[in-house]
Amino acid sequence: MSAPQIHIEALPRSVQLVLLLGLLALAAFPFVGSDFYMSMVNRMMILAIFAMSLDLLQGVTGLVSLGHAAYFGIAGYALAFITPANEPISLYASLPMAVGASALAALIIGFLVVRTHGIYFIMVTMAFAQMVFYLFFDNKALGGSDGLFLNFRPDAVLIDLENKRVFYFFTLGCLVAVYFFLRRVLWSPFGRSLAGIRVNEHRMRALGFGTFRHKLAAFTLAGALAGLAGFLWAAQTGFVNPELMGFHLSAHAIMMVILGGMGNFAGAIIGAFSFEYLLHLFKDLPAIGNFNTGKHWQMWMGLFIVALVIFAPKGILGLLTRAFAKKEASDD
Amino acid sequence: MHTNPNRRHVLAQGAALMGATASGLLLPQHVLAQSGKIRVGFMLPYTGTFAQLGVAIENGVRMAINEQGGKLGGREIEWFKVDDESEPSKAIENANKLVQRDKVDVLIGTVHSGVQMGIHRVARESGVLSLIPNAGVHMATRAQCAPNVFRASFTNSQPTMALGEAMVKRGHKKAVWITWKYAAGDEAYEGFKESYTKAGGTIVKELGLPFPNVEFQALLTEIAALKPDAVACFFAGGGAAKFMKDYAAAGLKDKIPLYGSGFLTEGTIEAAGPAAEGVLSTLHYGDGIDTKRNNEFRLNYAKTFKMQPDVYAVQGYDTGLLLIQGANAVKGDLSKKADLYKAMEGATIDSPRGKWTMSKAHNPVQDIYLRQVVGKENKVIGVAAKALADSGAGCRL
Amino acid sequence: MDFVNFLIQLLNSVQYGLLLFMLAAGLTLIFGIMGVVNLAHGSFYMLGAYLAWSLAGMLGSFTLAILVGTALSVAFGLLLEKVLFRHFYHRDHLDQVLLTFGLIYVFEELRSMLWGDDVHGLQVPEALSASIPLTDTLSYPVYRLFMSGICLLLALGLYLLISRTRLGMKIRAGAFNHEMTEALGVNIKLIHAVVFALGVGLASIAGMIAAPVSSVYPNMGGQVLIMCFVVVVIGGIGSVRGALISALLVGLVDTFGKVLLPQVSGMLVYVLMAAVLLYKPEGLFKQ
């Protein structure tokens, strides 16, 4: 096994500028883009929140979870269950409930799982997520494999979330809030100890830190934030099914975090957008002669992932900082 | 830290990247020129376990339209395709690709009932003409029926509605039912339960396993212990082939006759081999229907696509015929919705399965055949139910 | 349930468990000895099944298909190890997870391009197509007994290889202390290649013998992969003995669960895993 990675934590000015530009572009998008693409970008933002929550766990604390989607799905289902068939539920009641459900699940599962290490942790998180998946998949009472529909978005009283544009800005607001919150956490004593655990857990323990408690807290917080993303997803799409808790979504989340660059949350956002955009791109590739390129999108995606791991294990931010560092060096 | 030129450089590069990305997203994948063509969108499974079915359906649609000159109501056609991967969680997003992004006039799809629910949502919200070439989920032509949604296939309970009486007539009055526990399986059971009990049969036990699980051994053992007169089931695709094989390997085939909703033996006979021999099923189609229409259809399909057609191809073909009738009635102007819908509601489709008409809820009223597997095909041995209509319960059309 | 049914369900559990063992054994060896987690292991199972189907069609004999198929799979495994996996033994688990997840996609597509997306059936060979009557309605297929037999034989072979041969000794040494073994003059690269090929071979053979029973269809590796991981985790990573016991346990829980508690049968195996890990966080037989 290799040494735990030293991640980019302090974002260079250039990256901060790019983020700001991105924020402006996102804010302007609803006024220039079509309905279809606005929905797509909205989904990307929700996945960015999901990716950031995983980054807290994986990038900062070093706990690789192959089952993070479980907490994404649980909140979505919670919203689906409490939304009545004929009228909307209050946002102010449903959001805390859904996020709370995810946080509780993360706390319980985390308590059982955080005691394991390395490859066991990876497999055990996957297994618990599968357990949750089957719980919903096998039981018609919980919707079964067909899933559940939501007939209304939550009622926010002051703003109308049924309006696509309003919902878009609500999501954007959540995205920005979560980002700044997590950046705060990263530099707080709690966040510093999490980073310390990633780099060398034994040393942290020797220094007197209760690493179990810290890891469990990180796991729960990550689960809660994943729940926020899941809540938004269910509200936007109006449909939940067990795939929201599935292995593929968990693996996609890991890829988003790695693609962008781990440990600083900006990478998670960049990774989420890039990954989703790539998927969209691959699926819509025009045919080359007789070869139906778009149909075989899984191949292009797979090759891309393999290439990413081989050539750019630190993700896009890693590549960018390397490029800027080289430029700096050559400028001198 | 960084000197000014670097910052400007980054700003410029960043803005360029943002701009390129944004315009890449904005620029529609297919140029929306005012071409005067009718836009037809396929939302079908082109990958995954149902890929065969998606291909067969598209083949059928295209064949129907090409036979009539390749135009709809005199207008040229522009085709669009989206792979729904049989994934219900992406259904709404995929349907919107066709409806919002590609702005199709007609959406033809899909196979999987879970995905259909998503399409149905989008169809009801957007009003796009939605033609269902397979998915039998009840609500699309029952409680949630809509004027712009038409089905050219079946409801999940139609085949099994005809099964009950057929079984009792042949002396099998105590049966065990087995299927996957999902919408299609539950709805198939609904039809079976109603028809079987009405005809005087008793359902000894109802067995189920989660979809798409194919470990049947445990349940086959239970069936053997229950010793019913017959077993009725709903399975489709690879799982159906495996079920028949496991059923035979467990020694049940010759002792307890096996019946099924026709999908049990559609496209699965080759995979199941001798285990399928003699299995009885009910469906709105059978390869061996000996009519001029069917024989012609089968010949042409085999010549054009170099493979044998199945019920999915027929459903696709009929969808094409339905669309043609509608488009012809409005001379290609699909915006004349009232006339378009009226024409489709009143259509009589001269299908390879036999002539059928639309019910009030926009589902086929059709004959259901009793078939038996003989050699490599489903031989039609009788008509299990004539002009069977789905109840359409809860539809307010 | 009466005794005969119980017996039959027991046979079913053992047969399923043994098949899982074939897959889990390869996975646990590869992980235990090279430290590589391979999410694409299920793809080798699928490879075996498709090879069995297409070769049986081309060569006309099931036995021949298995022999040729095994040779092809092992060759493929060796190639994959040399070109790709070898460079990942020292990498983070995260990178391995990612790499092999990407490989799953690539293999699915290769399968689609080579063999298409249709579902296919493979006939059980004539000689093994009989069924043994156990009650007046139920028979047990001879072929399933054959499957269990082959798995047991291979399990025995694996045991003998690892505990009674020089190669096995070197393998065990390599797992215990990598650098030391190399320093002692053992060609550790060869050992790794052999172990990887062995893992791929076992998975592929499992797919081949399961093909007549399970049919051959897209994504057939995915479902079996996750079960495989559960078996490995319960048994203890790196322990072949653990994999055997754990596979049989999982087979029992899964089969009887389906019959006795169908509502929760999908979850039961994971509950089992959680219980085992609470008691023994590193699996039943820590290596």
Q: What angle in degrees, to the nearest 10, is found between the helix axes of A164-187 and A189-199?
A: 70
Bridge partners, residue B79, by sequence: B40
Mean pLDDT throughout B33-39? 71
Region A123-145: what's the mean pLDDT? Answer: 87
Same-domain check for residues B165 and B212: yes
> What is the total count of domains within chain C?
1
Q: How far apart are CA B259 and CA B137, in angstroms?
A: 21
Mutation pick from C90, C97, C278, C286 vs chain A, by most beta carbons of A within 10 Å, is C97
Cα distances (Å, whole numbers) of residue A171 to A37, A136, A161, A275, B350: 15, 27, 10, 19, 51
CA–CA separation, B270 vs A200, rounded Å?
A: 59
- Chain B residue numbers with beta carbons less than 8 Å from the beta carbon of C143 are 249
pLDDT of B21 reads 55
Chain A CA closest to residue C265: A138
Q: Has residue A117 got a pLDDT over 60?
A: yes
pLDDT at B26: 47
User: What pLDDT does residue A205 have?
Assistant: 86
* Contact call for A119 and C93, based on CB within 8 A: yes
Grade residue B281 by pLDDT with cuts at 50, 70 and 90: very high
Mean per-residue pLDDT, B102-130: 93
Chains with at least 3 CB pairs less than 8 angstroms from chain B: A, C
B11 touches chain A (CB under 8 A): yes
Do B167 and B275 fall within a single domain? yes
Domain assignment of residue C247, yes or no: no
Q: How far is A62 from chain C (nearest CA, A)?
A: 10
pLDDT in tens, A139-194: 888 888 888 999 899 999 899 999 999 999 999 999 999 999 999 999 999 999 99
C195 falls within a domain: yes
| Position B32 pLDDT exceeds 50 | no
Shared domain check, B255 and B323? no
Which residues in chain C are closer than 8 Å to A304, comparing Cβ atoms? 102
| Domain end among B259, B283, B307 | B283
Residue B46 lies in domain? 29-154+290-358
Residue B57 within any structural domain of the chain: yes
Find the CB nearest C139 among B250, B267, B274: B250
Contact C106 A299 (CB under 8 A): yes
Same domain? B163 vs B279: yes
Asked if the C-beta of B79 comes within 8 angstroms of chain A's C-beta atoms, the answer is: no
pLDDT value for B31? 42
Q: Per this entry, what is the length of chain B?
A: 397
Confidence of residue B276 (pLDDT cuts 50, 70, 90): very high
Establish if B156 touches chain A: CB-CB under 8 angstroms.
no
Query: A with B: how many residue pairs have Cβ under 8 Å apart?
Result: 107
Determine, for residues A131 and C274 on separate chains, whether the beta-carbon distance falls below 8 Å. Answer: yes
> What per-residue confidence (pLDDT) applies to B107?
97
pLDDT bin (cut points 50, 70, 90) of residue B34 is very low
Top-confidence range, B3-7, B8-12, C97-101? C97-101
At B186, list the tokens.
């539950």
pLDDT tens column, C212-255: 887 787 778 887 888 898 899 899 888 888 999 999 999 999 88
Q: Which residue of C has its CA nearest to A310?
A: C99
Last residue within a domain, chosen from B283, B307, B341: B283
Contacts of C130 in chain B (CB under 8 A): none
Q: Does A61 touch chain C (CB under 8 A)?
A: no
Q: Where are the alpha helices (DSSP H) in chain C?
A: 3-34, 41-59, 62-83, 93-115, 142-164, 166-176, 178-183, 188-214, 220-235, 240-260, 265-279
Domain that holds residue C71: 16-218
pLDDT band at A118 (very low <50, low <70, confident <90, very high): confident
| Residue C286 φ then ψ, to 5° | -65, 140
CB-based contacts of B389, cutoff 8 Å, min separation 6: B359, B363, B365
For residue B268, is the peptide bond before it cis, meaning its omega torsion is within 30 degrees of 0?
no
B189-240 residue pLDDT tens: 999 999 999 999 999 999 988 777 777 887 888 898 899 999 999 998 778 9
The first and second tokens of residue B300, run together, are 């042409």
Q: How far is CA A223 from the centre of its chain?
A: 10
Determine contact, residues C76/C237, Cβ cutoff 8 Å. no
Same domain (yes/no): B220, B179 = yes
Exposed/middle/buried for residue A104 (C-beta within 10 Å: 0-12, 13-18, 19+): middle
Residue C237 lies in a domain: no
Task: Report yes or no on C273 lying in a domain.
Answer: no
Chain C adjacent subunits, 3+ CB pairs under 8 A: A, B
CB contact under 8 A, A14 and B10: yes
Q: Is residue C241 part of a domain?
A: no
Q: Which of A117-126, A313-322, B276-285, B329-338 shows the lowest per-residue confidence on average (mean pLDDT)?
A: A313-322
Summarize the confidence of residues B8-20 as an average pLDDT. Answer: 55
pLDDT at B167 over 60: yes
A254 interface with C at CB cutoff 8 Å: yes
* Residues B233 and B268 reside in one and the same domain: yes
Residue C163: its pLDDT value, please? 85
pLDDT score recorded for residue A73: 97
d(CA C106, CA C40): 10
CATH number of the domain residue B237 falls in: 3.40.50.2300
Asked whether the bond before C262 is cis by omega within 30 degrees of 0, the reply is no
Task: Decide if C208 is inside a domain.
Answer: yes
Indicate if B124 and B188 belong to the same structural domain.
Answer: no
* Number of compact structural domains in chain B: 2
> What number of other Cβ atoms are within 10 A of residue C157's Cβ?
10
For B79, list phi and psi in degrees, rounded to 5.
-95, 145
| Residue B268: band (very low, low, confident or very high) from pLDDT cuts 50, 70, 90 | confident
Average pLDDT score over chain A? 89
Amino acid, res. B198: K
Task: Mention every residue, 6+ apart, whose C-beta is less than 8 A from residue C179.
Answer: none
In a domain, B385, yes or no: no
Residue B190 and residue B134 in one domain: no
In 3D, which of A111, A75, A65 has the Cα closest to residue A250?
A65
Alpha-carbon distance B108 to B358, whole Å?
A: 17
C213 located within any domain? yes
CA-wise closest residue to A324 among A5, A2, A4, A17: A17
| pLDDT of B19 | 56
The lowest-confidence range among B44-58, B380-394, C193-207, C273-287 is C273-287
Average pLDDT over residues A72-84: 96
On whether residue B316 sits in a domain, the answer given is: yes
SS3 A73: helix
